[in-house]
Amino acid sequence: MRKYFKFFLFFLWLFFVFPDQAFAQLCQGSLGDPVVNITFGTSSNPGTPGGSTTNYTYFPHDCPDDGYYTIAGSTHECFNDSWYSLAEDHTPGDVNGNMMIVNASIAPGDFFVKQVDGLCPNTTYEFASWIFNVMLQSACYGNGIKPNITFKIETTTGTVLQSYSSGDISSTGEWKQYGFFFTTFVGTGSVILRMTNNAPGGCGNDLMLDDITFRPCGPLVLAAIDGSKDSVDVCTGDNSVFTLHADVSSGYSDPVYQWQLSTDNGISYTDIAGATQITYIRPATDDAGRYLYKLAVSERENSHVSGCSILSNIVAVGVNEFPVVDAASRGHCTEDTLFLTANDGSIFLWDGPLNFISSEQNPFIPDAVIGNNGTYHVKATSSKGCISLDSTVASLSERPTVNTGNDQEICQGNSVQLQSTGSNNITTYQWTPVTGLSNAAVPNPIASPLTSTLYILKVTNNECPSFDSIFVIVNENPSADAGPDRVIINGQSATINGTAGGTDVNYLWTPNVNITGATTLNPEISPTSNQVYTLNVYSNKGCKAAIDDVLVKVYQQLFVPDAFTPNGDGINDTWIIETLDAYPGADLKVFNRLGQKVFDNNGKSVWWDGRFKGEEMPSGAYVFFIDLRNNSPIQKGIVYIIR
């Protein structure tokens, strides 16, 4: 394997010695830090791209017209969707990054022109850019003009030192890097970089540019740790010493080496004092962090200028903290869920009482029992292999047991003693609600609720609660209302309008004489003489019964009093025709001697007080008419007011 690697390095040496014979235009060795690095920033730039000049005119939107360019982070449905719509620039994931979007003009023009100063002599540089043909393959009926770009390096007076043509850039929907390399000579301290549009005008020739770079290119420098690794990880306190070594292909006549270190994740690098050999023995480091190393290589004549060096690949040594586990348990009582938690780590292994084993970071034990008490050990391994051990002690208290018994039923106004039983570790009792209880803090209070109530008992043993409940059902006592007294004419029948209340009741009318439906609330009665009927309401729940009476008066015929004395003495002040109640809906009208109607009951059981429109009528005779509404003749008579 080593033989093939040496052959590969020899091939690269040929590449640098005979660049004109190499088939690739981009650097195949190692690159240095960019002398020019145009990324177009992270926000729209209304000026020239990256301090360079261009023959194109700036356009403030993402779909520039012919001869214009813009700086934007995306394209969206340009020119009736004939362009690719991109959500980001060339750098994957760089959603805020910009790129240069160009709608090339018909005449050739410079996309990019920039002077570069301070170049190192006898140093090879790569001039390159990432390019994207933004036209869809289907655009322009499939015959869109392909971009074609010439890269040039010129003297400051305009003499072309070297050039490269990209050729036609096809529409592939992908970014591709184009460019070439150039070797300076003594006295080449400044050059002009130029990118020019060569394609003819017409439909197409639209593109995007990003990450334009000009950077040193030299032999291939491959760094490794302990011979083959590009990274290693250790834990704090590890005293391991690592050997960093680089293989450098031929190409430099008098190379100078300098190992560099970054402790800020590659943002900046500093030279390591004394690390000027191709091999560097890295000492052990106590402080945690990620240490990045690379080897800078340059010709000795340029070693004093950092921008003339090429750089190896980055190798990394990670010094990692041990995970801070902070194991803990949460759960106070049996029958609770016992939660175990570990703060840090990637791989976990728990063990504990009752043969408990788990690989979860935060396992739990539902419905824990006393046997789950004890010490739980956890082994936490970080993603870098650092192992920490920790433990936590679970201490569950025995939850008390309580039983309030079966639900109870009482009659309204009665009481019942609640009977709870429980384990001997109960220290407190608390019933809720307290309404209707003789004492809410004892196990067996007397309950006298007014309405049905669910009583909940909470018991504790100073820490763990338990609950049970009992429903005390309050049955409403029976109530009876036999309804208003009734009047009938002998031979008639009527319905008694009784009402009843209470929980689970039944009914019975007594006596069972001239009555139909004695076990209903609305029986039909037909007595031949005055009769008192009693409504008896009984409770099927054992509550006390209720009774009420109704008097049914029986008249032989309709009787109409012929006079009354509305003088306010409380005796016979109202003309009442009691027997008229036997004819529901009967209509009664009264007229004075002038034929004026002074009273009308409108078919209701309403009686005359001797007034008309609030004014007392004078003593005298008044004519009445009675329509019984039963197809019998209208009855007429005289009634006297006596004052």
Q: Does residue 15 lie within any of the structural domains?
A: no
Domain limits at 340?
328-394
Strands 221-225 and 242-248: antiparallel
Query: What is the C-alpha separation between 288 and 322, in angstroms, rounded?
Result: 10
Q: Are 515 and 523 in contact (CB under 8 A)?
A: yes
Final residue of a structural domain among 348, 367, 394: 394
Residue 181: partners with Cβ closer than 8 Å, 6 or more residues away: 19, 25, 26, 27, 124, 125, 126, 127, 217
- Taking the C-alpha atoms of residue 518 and residue 553, their distance in angstroms, rounded to an integer, is 19
What are the pLDDT digits (tens) for 187-230? 888 999 999 998 877 788 999 999 999 999 999 999 999 999 99
Q: How many CB atoms lie within 10 A of CB 386?
A: 22
- Name residue 92's amino acid: P
Percent of the chain with pLDDT over 70: 95
> Does 465 share its domain with 614?
no
610: left (phi over 0), alpha (psi -120 to 50) or beta: left
45 or 420: which leads in pLDDT: 420
Dihedrals φ, ψ of 634, to 5°?
A: -70, 130
What stretch of H or E contains 408? strand 408-411
Place of tokens 């009664």: 588
**What's the rounded mean pLDDT across residues 579-585?**
92
Check if the beta carbon of residue 371 is closer than 8 Å to that of residue 435.
Answer: no
CA torsion, ordered 220, 226, 227, 228, to nearest 10 deg: -80
For 135, 184, 204, 596, the CA distances from 170, given in Å and listed in that order, are 9, 32, 11, 115
Same domain, 462 and 537: no
Say if residue 300's pLDDT is above 70.
yes
Residue 193: inside a domain, yes or no? yes
Question: Of 385, 375, 230, 376, which Cα lies nearest the Cα of 295?
Answer: 230
User: pLDDT tens digit string along 412-426?
Assistant: 999 999 999 999 999
Q: Is 387 part of a structural domain of the chain?
A: yes
392/352 Cα distance (integer angstroms): 10
- Computed over every residue of the chain, the mean pLDDT equals 91
Q: What is the pLDDT of residue 19?
A: 40
Domain with residue 271: its CATH number is: 2.60.40
If asked whether residues 158 and 64 sit together in one domain, one would say yes
620: left (phi over 0), alpha (psi -120 to 50) or beta: left
Instruction: Specify whether 382 is located in the same domain as 421.
Output: no
* pLDDT attached to residue 307: 84
Asked whether residue 161 is domain-assigned, the answer is: yes
Cα 200 to Cα 570: distance, rounded to the nearest angstrom: 125
The order of strands in the sheet holding 364-365 is: 328-330, 338-341, 364-365
Instruction: Express each pLDDT in 464-475 by its tens digit.
Output: 999 999 999 999
Instruction: Choose one of 394, 414, 439: the last residue of a domain.
Output: 394
Distant-in-sequence, close-in-space partners of 6: CB < 8 Å, separation ≥ 6 = none
Q: Among 394, 415, 438, where does a domain finish?
A: 394
Please give the pLDDT value at position 15. 41
Same domain, 421 and 292: no
**16 Cα distance to chain centroid:** 60
- 106-141 per-residue burial string, b: 16 or more CB within 10 A, e: under 16: eeeebbbbbebeebbeebbbbbbbbbbbbbbeebee
Considering the domain boundaries, does residue 234 fall inside one? yes
The enclosing domain of 352 has a CATH number of 2.60.40.10
What confidence category does residue 54 fall into, taking pLDDT thresholds of 50, 70 and 90? confident
pLDDT of residue 66: 87
Same domain, 515 and 450: no
* Same domain (yes/no): 180, 227: no
Asked if residue 120 belongs to a domain, the reply is yes
Examine the pLDDT at 44 and tell me if it is beyond 80: no
- The enclosing H or E element of 11 equals helix 2-17
Mean pLDDT of 363-373: 96
* 38 membership: H or E segment, kind and range: strand 36-38
Supply the pLDDT for residue 438: 97
Our CA dihedral for 594, 595, 601, 603, rounded to 10 degrees, sits at: 170
Q: Which residue has the tokens 């409770």?
A: 539
Lowest mean pLDDT among 95-104, 309-318, 430-439: 95-104
E-assigned strands of 476-528?
479-481, 486-489, 494-495, 499-501, 505-510, 515-516, 524-525
**Preceding omega of 353 cis (within 30 degrees of 0):** no
Within this chain, do residues 210 and 233 fall inside the same structural domain, yes or no? Answer: no
CATH number of the domain encompassing residue 108: 2.60.120.200
H helices of 332-458, where? none
Handedness of CA 306, 308, 314, 315 (dihedral sign): negative
Domain match, 32 and 133 both: yes
Q: According to the model, what pLDDT value does residue 186 have?
A: 83
Count CB neighbours of 622 within 10 A.
19
What's the Rg (C-alpha) of the chain? 55
Mean pLDDT along residues 561-579: 94
Same domain, 425 and 569: no
Higher pLDDT among residues 419 and 53, named by residue:
419
Using a pLDDT cut of 90, give the percent of the chain over it.
Answer: 78
| CA distances, 586 to each of 579, 611, 631 (Å) | 11, 21, 11
In a domain, 360, yes or no: yes
Q: Per the structure block, which two tokens stand in for 328?
A: 């803990």
Q: Are residues 299 and 345 in the same domain?
A: no
| Interval 470-524: pLDDT, tens | 999 999 999 999 999 999 999 999 999 999 999 999 999 999 999 999 999 999 9
3-state secondary structure 157-219: CCCEEEEEEEEECCCCCCCEEEEEEEECCCCCCCEEEEEEECCCCCCECEEEEEEEEEEEEEC
C-alpha 523: how far from chain center: 66
Same-domain pairing of 37 and 175: yes
Residue 90 belongs to some domain of the structure: yes
Please tell me the distance from the alpha carbon of residue 29 to that of residue 313, in angstroms, as a whole number.
Answer: 11
Phi then psi for residue 23, to 5 deg, are -85, -20
How many separate domains does the chain show?
A: 6
Cβ atoms of residues 561 and 641 within 8 Å: no
Gap between the Cα atoms of 227 and 28, Å rounded:
22
